Amino acid sequence: MRFLHETLPQRIRFASAEAAASLASEIQVLGSERVMVIASESGGRLAQRITADIPVALQHHEAVTHVPVAVAERARAAATTCRADVLVSIGGGSATGLAKAVALTTGLPIVAVPTTYAGSEVTDVWGMTEGTTKTTGRDPRVLPKAVVYDASLTQSLPIATSIASGLNAVAHCVDSLWAPRADPVNAALATEGIRALRVGLPQLISSPTAIEGRERTLFGAYLAAAAFASAGSGLHHKICHVLGGMFDLPHAQTHAAVLPHVLAFNAAHAPEAERRLAAAFDAPDAISGLRALHERLHAPTALRDYGMPESGIVPAARAVVAAALTLANPAPVSTDAISHLLRRAREGAEL
């Protein structure tokens, strides 16, 4: 056995119903005195509630999907004007993403308080969209210094959104097994993440407000993101970033619909990863395991339901191939192959 593994430096606080206290402790550790809180407009009330005990200089509630460049520029200007010394993001991937966009140019530290299973809070990956193009990159400045996990904050998340977000976490696990920096440590995190998600996500349907299922799912999402943060972005995420930028598709639902088709595309070319996934899904093979989970969760299956046009298949495939040129993907990547994959994902074809 021979590998090189990098663990990103970050502190994790995981405690249900303790978000406000955990956040106050983190702000004290950092010695911050002027906090800029970043959330969506809909998440503003929650943000105000759990930041009541910290020195808030500004509540900035403009986080939106895919982080448009104009939105990022306004947030950066606001951070300068209010003389923020720390950013606190509260919400899903949009809030975390906007905080990262600010940190990228200002160097301000981030404390993330996630309310979904997106996982962005554990990675050093940033993304912004201009027009129909989404640009992503990696930078240590955007990695949150600390993450406050509180499963009770996810209890108000609608079930459909919870399921899509949780399947996004499953996608992090799957991609981590053949991403550019895949290694045995990432594989261990990813497979344990799938086990937690496989058990936790169905509990959300049977008992939507029960904390046990929420905690298990949130823990699985953290393991998934930790694996993904180290392993890097594989073909699945390259596809989803292209689709999100080109067609403004919803992030989590896109991941849920695309994942089975990427797994089917790669599985035969990555037998060791396939065996690991099958064991994690507790299934005869990885594809049937993921399919069974999708069916149990009534997961999103067709990209056309979210606005992807048929005319966009080939242009998207070309963009994916261009984005994936440096990937050592298990299966050969070509415009024809990705067009076929996208066509099946758009139609929600059975595997």
Rounded-to-5 percentages of helix, strand, coil across the chain: 60, 10, 30
Fold observed for domain 11-154:
Rossmann fold (3.40.50)
pLDDT of 236 reads 95
CA proximity to 100, closest of 92, 236, 52 = 92
> pLDDT-derived band of residue 209, with 50, 70 and 90 as boundaries?
confident
CA proximity to 178, closest of 284, 262, 293 = 262
Whether the CB-CB separation of 218 and 149 falls below 8 Å is answered with yes
Determine the angle formed by the axes of helices 184-206 and 271-281, rounding to 10 degrees: 30
Buried b (16+ CB within 10 A) or exposed e, 101-114: bbbbebebbbbbbb
List the domain boundaries for the chain.
11-154, 162-347
The residues pairing with 14 across neighbouring beta strands, listed in sequence order, are 149
> pLDDT-derived band of residue 136, with 50, 70 and 90 as boundaries?
confident
Q: What is the mean pLDDT of the chain?
A: 95
As a whole number of angstroms, the distance between CA 35 and CA 228 comes to: 29
pLDDT of 132 reads 80
- 190, two tokens: 């990813």
Average pLDDT over residues 170-178: 95
Average pLDDT over residues 12-24: 97
Kindly report, residue by residue over 97-124, the tens digit of the pLDDT.
999 999 999 999 999 999 999 899 999 9
Does position 351 have pLDDT exceeding 90, yes or no? no
DSSP H or E stretch at residue 324: none
Q: Compute the C-alpha angle 106/230/279, nearest 5°.
A: 145
CA proximity to 237, closest of 125, 75, 84, 113 = 125
Average pLDDT over residues 200-211: 94
Whether the CB-CB separation of 114 and 72 falls below 8 Å is answered with no
pLDDT of 327 reads 85
Which amino acid is residue 67, in one-letter code?
V
DSSP conformational letter for 127: E
CA proximity to 232, closest of 106, 136, 150, 94 = 136
pLDDT of 6 reads 86
Distance set, CA 7 to CA 4, 168, 181, 183 (Å): 10, 21, 12, 12
Distance set, CA 304 to CA 52, 313, 319, 343 (Å): 42, 11, 19, 10
Higher pLDDT, 77 or 351: 77
pLDDT of 98 reads 98
Average pLDDT over residues 7-26: 96
- 183, two tokens: 């290694």
As a whole number of angstroms, the distance between CA 16 and CA 149 comes to: 7
Question: Minimum mean pLDDT among 74-83, 129-138, 286-295: which range?
Answer: 129-138
pLDDT of 65 reads 87
- 34, two tokens: 């002027």
CA proximity to 162, closest of 216, 99, 123 = 216
The residues pairing with 88 across neighbouring beta strands, listed in sequence order, are 37, 111
Instruction: For the chain, count helices (H), then strands (E).
Output: 13, 8
pLDDT of 229 reads 93
Which amino acid is residue 153, in one-letter code?
L
Q: Is 336 exposed, middle or buried (0-12, 13-18, 19+ CB in 10 A)?
A: exposed
Average pLDDT over residues 237-249: 92
Edge-to-edge, what's the strand order for the sheet holding 35-38? 11-14, 146-149, 110-114, 86-91, 35-38, 56-60
CATH C-level class of 162-347: mainly alpha
